[in-house]
Amino acid sequence: MQLTIVLLLMFAMSIGIATFIENDYGSEASKIAIYNATWFEILLLVLAINLIGSLFTHKLWKRKKIHHIHHAFIICGYSYWRSPHKVCWLRRHDAYKGG
pTM tops 0.75:
no
State the pLDDT confidence band at 89, using cuts at 50, 70 and 90. Answer: very low
Which pLDDT does position 90 carry in this prediction?
Answer: 45
Q: Express each pLDDT in 38-74 by its tens digit.
A: 999 899 889 888 888 887 787 766 655 556 666 667 7
Contact in structure between 45 and 78 (CB atoms under 8 Å) = no
Q: Is the dihedral of CA 29, 33, 35, 37 positive or negative?
A: positive
Closest CA to 71 of 8, 27, 6: 8
Contact in structure between 94 and 88 (CB atoms under 8 Å) = no
Contact in structure between 90 and 62 (CB atoms under 8 Å) = no
